[in-house]
Each structure stands twice: as C-alpha cells, then as structure tokens.
Chain A
Amino acid sequence: MLSIRNLKVSIKGKEILKGINLEVKAGEVHAIMGPNGTGKSTLAYVIAGREGYEVTEGEIIFKGRNILGLSAEERACEGLFLGFQYPVEIPGVSITNFLRTAINEQRKYKGLDPVPATEFLARMEEKKKLLELQEKLASRSVNEGFSGGEKKKNEIFQMAMLEPMLAILDETDSGLDIDALRIVASGVNKLRRPDNSTIVITHYQRLLEYIVPDVVHVLFDGRIVKSGGKELALLLEEKGYEWIRKES
C-alpha cells in the first residue's frame, strides 16, 4: 500500500524529517507515536502532498507508484485521506455540499459521472448512523463553530463518506470524550477492510486499545527509532520517551 524510503524533508532550509522508512501493507493498521515537535504531522502533510515542504531525498510509493510528483488533490483522488490534527473552518459551506463536491471531483478523476442525489443522501444517512452523528450537523458549515470533539468526529465522518484506501489520522483522539472516542474508534474498525490501511498518529495508548495496531512506530527527532507490536505503546506509556532517548 505505502512504502516510504529514506524520506528527508526540510522546511525553509531546516531539516525536519531525517530519513524516514515505513512500510504499510494492505489491511494493516500502523500507529505512530512520539514527542511533540518531532515531525509526525509533517510526515502526514508530506504524504498528503501539502506545498511548502522541500523533499530533499527519498520517495513515497503509494499503490506501487511514486506519488511525489502528484498534487494533493490527485493523491486524494488516488485514495489517500488525511484526518487533520486541526480541522479547518470553511464558513458558509455546508458539510453536505462540501462532501458532494469532494465525491464528485474524485469520481470525475476516475472518469465516473456525478453521484446520483438519492445515492449520496442514502450514504450520508448510513455513515451518520455509523458515527452516531447529530442529524443537523451535516447542514452546518464545515467545522464552523464546532467543538473540538465535533471537529474530530467530522473528520472520521468524511473518511467514512470518501472510503479511502489509506487513511492517516493525525491525533484524531485528542479532544474526544470517552464516549466519542469509543464511537470514533468503532467507526474506524467497521471501515477496516482487507484492502485498505490506516495510520493513526496518537499520543495515547488508550486509543490503541480500541483500534488495535499491527505495528507501533516511535518517531523521534525526524527518524523512526523504534518499531514493534502493540506492547510498545504500553511500554511508552509506562516509561515515557526518556527511555527511547537513552536507547537511540
């Protein structure tokens, strides 16, 4: 699904990612943990194709193809989804209109006709139920005036609607209350299929009790310094990052 080889990335001349290697297979869930400011979001943005980052070395292979030359929207249309750490407000644009536009643009990319209105609305209903969303949320403007938790839920709702091949969820658990966390996690689990993959970026082992990862990575100062099974997350929770610092 995704393989990143020796990826080095700078922002304004300062190197942030210093040679990342990562291999995610279809059907797998990977977790990335690590202290603040080590480059987790940067990695997510670079995979998603955000401008303003200088890739100085390495490659990102998605579905067998180097995507570094593709624009953000092309990558999205290829099946890449990013759940934002800080979702953006778009005043006056309803979630319904936003998602319909997104789905139709993705369909256009694939040479398909726009989604019929009834089919679209049925899908909205189905996914709203999956995430136990309030009825009126979809008619509100994208993220405008949403609480922190509502914003995160809305990210997963969009993921459910867009059905990506690879979803990167950047701290989707931060700001969620216990019930919301359970709903979001069970949503993610229900959307899991043998042919799609998920990368969750998180600070909390708790999320990984709900979304059980196949592999846990520790990102430290722009490098993945340790990878292991889900027990690694427990160990981190117990010992903190000092322990890794000493080891690496």
Chain B
Amino acid sequence: MEKDQNNILEEVTNSDYKYGFYTDIEMDTAPVGLCEDTVRFISAKKNEPEWMLEFRLKAYRHWLTLTEPTWAHLHHPPIQYQDIIFYAAPKRKKELKSLDEVDPELIETFNKLGISLDEQKKLSGVAVDAVIDSVSVKTTFSDTLSKYGVIFCSFSDAVQNHPDLVKQYMGSVVPSNDNFFAALNSAVFSDGSFCYIPKGVRCPVELSTYFRINAANTGQFERTLIVADEGAYVSYMEGCTAPMRDENQLHAAIVEIVAMKDAEVKYSTVQNWYPGNKKGEGGIYNFVTKRGICKGSHSKISWTQVETGSAITWKYPSVVLMGDNSVGEFYSVAVTNNFQQADTGSKMIHLGKNTKSTIISKGISAGQSNNSYRGLVKVIKRAENARNFSQCDSLLLGDKCGAHTYPYIKAENHTSIIEHEATTSKISDDQLFYCKQRGISSESAIGLIVNGYAKEVLMHLPMEFAVEAQKLLAISLEGSVG
C-alpha cells in the first residue's frame, strides 16, 4: 500500500510520468534492433520469472517466421524493425516551468476540450504542485477496490504478485502466434494493465487507465488483460481525449478479455494518438489486437471505440462467442482527416447456441484520408440460432477522401440470421446552410452534424467519456471544410 502511494505521488509530481516506466531503474537502453538478447534484456530488466521469459522467447521465435500482413487497405513505408529501440529507460524530459512554454496549439486544444489547468500542466509536462487531492482520490479509489476484492494493477505487478492468474489467462484469447503484431507484442511488451473481478462482484467504479496504480506510460507495446469471473461486471475505459504525443512511431498493443458465465465487460476506448501533421508527415502507426472471449453462457462483452488519432490504425476488436446465449457488441466511430488511414472493424465468432452480436460502425473521412471498415461474422455449424446485425455507415467530408467497406460473412448454420446494412452519405450544403442561417459557424455545424451521425455509438460510452468525445470529434475535423 505504502509503495503504491509513493508511486502515486511520483506519478502526479513527476513531470514526465507520461513517458516513464513505473520503477526508478537506471538509465539504460536496449541495443537497437530485435534479437533474442533484446527479449532476454527486457525480461531481466523487469525481473521476470522464468515462465514469463519463456513466453516471450517462444513468441519471438514465432515472430521470426512471420511477415507483416499486407491485406489491409493501408499504405506506409516499410517499418524497419532493426532500427527500433525496443526498450528504453525513461528519458528525463526538460521540465517546463509554466504553460507559457507549451506549444500554443496544444493549449488551444486543451481549452476546447475543457481540460482543467492542472490537468493541462500534467499532460504537457509542466511541474504540478498540488498533489493532496490526487493522492486522496487515489487512496479512496484503491481502498474501494480492495474492499470488493478487485485486482487492478500494472501488468508487471500482476506478473510478480498474481502469477497464477496471469499464467492461466495470458495468451488464452490472443495466442502469441495469433498474428505478426501480436507475436511482436508478446515478445517485447513493456507494460500494461491487469484487472480481475472476482465472482459475483459488480465493480463499483469505472476502471480507467488514468486511475491505474503505476499508470505511467506503458510504452509502445502495451498489454492488457481483463478477467471477469462468474457473474462479475466491469466497465473499463482506456485512453484519454487529450492529444497524446509519443516519440515512438510504432505501437502494437494487445488487449485480452475473458468473461465467464453471466459476466459482463464493457470496454471503452478513446484513441487520440498524434496523427501526423497536415501534410501527412509523422504520426503514430497503431497496430492493435483486441479480442474478448465470452467463455461462459449468458456472458457479454462490448467494445466501444472512438478513434480520432494515429497516422495508421489497424484494429479489429473481436468477440469469440463461446458460451451459449452470450452477447458480443462493437460500437465504433473512426475519424480520419488529412492523410490519416484507418482499417478497422470487428470480428464476431459465433461458437455457442443462441449467441447474438451487434456491430455498429460509423466511419467519418475528411481531407485526403482513407477509412475502411473490415468485419467478419462467422457462425460455425453447431451455433444454432445465432444472430448478427451489422450496420456500417460512412460519412464523407469533401471529395478527396475515401471510404471502403469489407464485410465478410461465413455462416455454416442455416438457422442463423445475419443482417448487414451499409450507407454512405455526405454532409450536404443544404444542412450546412440551414445551420449557418441559425447563426452556427461552419465548424460548429460540422461538429453538430457529425455528433448527430455518431450518436448511436457515443451513447454507449460512459457519461464522462461521452461529453469529451463529442468535443473531440468536432476538433478532429476542424478545417476539413472550407
């Protein structure tokens, strides 16, 4: 407990918490590139048990046999894996004395999002002095959780303190050989979150990465594991609406969710990584593998995502519906502007009887960007009475952007009902003029129309996230209509 508190203090006061790791390790860096020694180095740095190193090495060896997938509608120069530093100790960033030293454009965005001054300072790396509040909030928070037996900690802590749970579930949903980026993550992941909700417990608070003990940035290869035991419920929020900058161009995360009988997990994401500049230079490549398994009957997993950032987004949050009567949901808004590219969607794999899935995807493209929906609905032979409803809408702003839909359906059981609807629309001049005639500026009008379009998805976000996400959508599209 005391150690946690110290970490909290450190996190809040430390100006570069955003870029640092959780322990105060010596300043050193893995050699450039990736080889078996790099993997051993990372594992050693983190003081990992043998089984964890074995897991990493196995993943690494498999990764060597794989090649980068090329089927997505994405274009980028080849990633030079041997030029990447896969483990770096925290860089001390120059501490800024006041917000005056921060990029004014960033401050403007913060203001538009309604982020408090203290929060702005933290996010942009200005020293914060008031810590009392945050500490007490944190303490109350972890007290509450431990009362319910909820485990919520960094992945590294979980490896040390809850090895049995980690061993049991890690890689059980996304095996280390699942795909190129999953194998890479499994070999070199830096840190992430671990969350376990015991039987019958309804987690009383929304868990967010913001409140995670040791919530320092987990680097480019993040790994999250959420297990909801029988009858448990948890709502988990990842990310934040504030713009996130990172020196690392390549991000390859894994999120695994396990829902046992009667359990429910709601996972919400707001992704606002640096998308690159208006000319399409720089920006994060985000290759994520997110998958949940409804292991027990009557379990439910919902993914809700608002994707506005990254130069490249490659992401298909999926649900394996193994338990009978289980439910999978995917609600997504993906915005691309300027030269951003997104290839995102969902996979719903129906294995159990009477399983139900819903996919609502809203793509918004502006500038010269490309936005693709890619989804798979699969029903195996024994999955009687499976149902899926998919709706994939695209909204185009301007005529230089692209929207594509790739729905794949594989139904092996004739009792299944699979519905797919798709629409493409534009913001019409009539709509814009109607808003302007009421005194609403073009920018606000676009924000209003886009939020209306995305409403079906936004309403699935937790309240505090939803309000911020609405502002974020409007801001992401600023300057997209002349």
Contacts and interface: CB of A to CB of B under 8 A. Distances in A.
Interface of A: 48-52, 71-73, 76-77, 81-82, 84, 87-93, 97-99, 101-103, 105-106, 109, 141, 158, 162
A158 B440 CA distance: 13
A51 B428 CA distance: 13
Contacts of A87: 434
A49 B456 CA distance: 33
Contacts of B437: 48-50, 72-73, 76, 81-82, 84
14 contacts: A50-B433, A50-B437, A72-B437, A76-B438, A84-B434, A88-B431, A90-B449, A90-B452, A93-B449, A93-B451, A103-B439, A105-B438, A141-B452, A162-B438
Contacts of A162: 438-439
Given A90-B431, A105-B440, 16 more contacts: A48-B437, A49-B436, A49-B437, A52-B429, A73-B436, A77-B439, A84-B434, A84-B437, A87-B434, A90-B448, A90-B452, A101-B440, A102-B439, A102-B440, A105-B444, A141-B452
B451 A106 contact: no
Nearest to A161: B438
B455 interface: yes
A22 to B, nearest CB: 19
Nearest to B459: A92
Contacts of B464: none
Contacts of A103: 439
A82 B438 CA distance: 8
A91 B430 CA distance: 13
A91 B436 CA distance: 16
A92 B439 contact: no
B426 to A, nearest CB: 13
Contacts of A101: 440, 444, 448
Contact of B455 (A76, A92, A109): A92
Given A73-B440, A93-B448, A101-B448, A88 B453 contact: no
A98 B438 contact: yes
B434 A88 contact: yes
Contact of B439 (A50, A51, A76): A76
A149 B456 CA distance: 27
B440 to A, nearest CB: 5
A82 B452 CA distance: 23
Counting from the closest, the 5 A-B pairs by CB-CB distance are A92-B452, A93-B452, A76-B439, A102-B438, A92-B455
Contacts of B428: 88
Interface string B413-434: 0000000000000001111011
B435 interface: yes
Contacts of B452: 90-93, 141
Contact of B451 (A71, A77, A89, A92): A92
Nearest to A83: B437
A88 B438 contact: no
A87 B433 CA distance: 11
B454 interface: yes
Contact of B453 (A77, A92, A158): A92
A167 to B, nearest CB: 11
A105 B448 CA distance: 12
B23 interface: no
B441 interface: yes
